[in-house]
Structure 1
């Protein structure tokens, strides 16, 4: 039986830290579903369609990866794809408390789904989507923080879209 993992997030936008986690997840699992959340609460800078496009472009050369959008419970999404593992990234101690609570919550909803926490490589540990969004608001350099495909998409967008 194939081991299927889901990596859920808003990916607003996907960063090199996310990409690092994706690459390392593919070594551990047979298939990876990257699940891009609608996430009305976070009020994303980019639309769901733009975020899905950015992720798809970033992983277009990777086998055994699919990208989907979702607006339901992560465990429900996992069940629909027969996934047994949720992937979560941890950059710093500050992430741990929230991610631990989320992992316990998901386990309380479905105890057959495990959460695996991965840390990005040290060179990516400081990168977050919110840092990238803040830099974009000031038209600052971001090409060292996001995959080159994402930088190209962002560069092609009008500045009014990013405000």
Structure 2
């Protein structure tokens, strides 16, 4: 079985993230969305709410699981027996950062990273900007997957 993790904070999970999962499932048997607990990040939604929102979104898809973790990403990948890490990249800056991390992960744990380029019409969307819109009570429905329940 080809299993990959898709790690991130996902605060919130955007249509860009949704696209990465959808495209990953064309070449992976299972995607585990790993929501990392990072005490250094100021998040809008608590970890439990992020897990719940994303699980609800994929409740009818047995090929997607959602799990939170509080360790190194490579340790999480090994815990769930994933041989791959999937990451989405929007910019050259993202690429340079992900390349460095991918090299370290491969060296330390033999885990390969697969980079998917964001679809052109979504490159401007980031969780940071969507989170800021939420802070000011703006409608974010065009930036999150259809069916995602944010305010319940």
Residues 48-89 of structure 1: CA deviation (Å, up to 9, x unaligned): 101111111222222311110000111111111211000011
Counterpart mapping for 1:91-102 below 5 A: 91-102=90-101
Where do residues 67-146 of structure 1 align in structure 2 (5 Å cutoff)? 67-111=66-110, 113-146=111-144
Task: Report the TM-score, using the length of structure 1 for normalisation.
Answer: 0.88
C-alpha deviations, 1:96-141, integer Å up to 9, x for none? 1111121122122212x10000012222221110010111111112
Q: Residue in 2 aligned with 1:160?
A: none
Structure 1 moving runs of 4+ over 6 Å: none
Aligned length: 152
Aligned counterparts of 2:105 and 2:7: Cα–Cα separation in 1 = 12
TM-score, normalised with respect to structure 2: 0.94
Q: Aligned-pair RMSD on alpha carbons?
A: 1.2
Deviation digits for residues 15-69 of structure 1 (CA, Å, limit 9, x no counterpart): 0000000000111101111100111111211111011111112222223111100
- Residue in structure 2 matched with residue 56 of structure 1 by the alignment: 55
User: Counterpart of 1:78 in 2: which secondary structure?
Assistant: helix
Long gaps (5+) in structure 2: none
Does the 8 Å contact 1:13/1:54 carry over to 2?
Answer: no
Distance 1:141 1:65 in 2: 27
Equivalent in the alignment of 2:150 = 153
The 8 Å contact of residues 6 and 34 in structure 1, kept in 2 or not, is answered as yes
Higher helix content, 1 or 2: 1
Any gaps of 5 or more consecutive residues in structure 1? 157-163
- Note if contact 1:54-1:149 (Cα within 8 Å) is conserved in structure 2: no
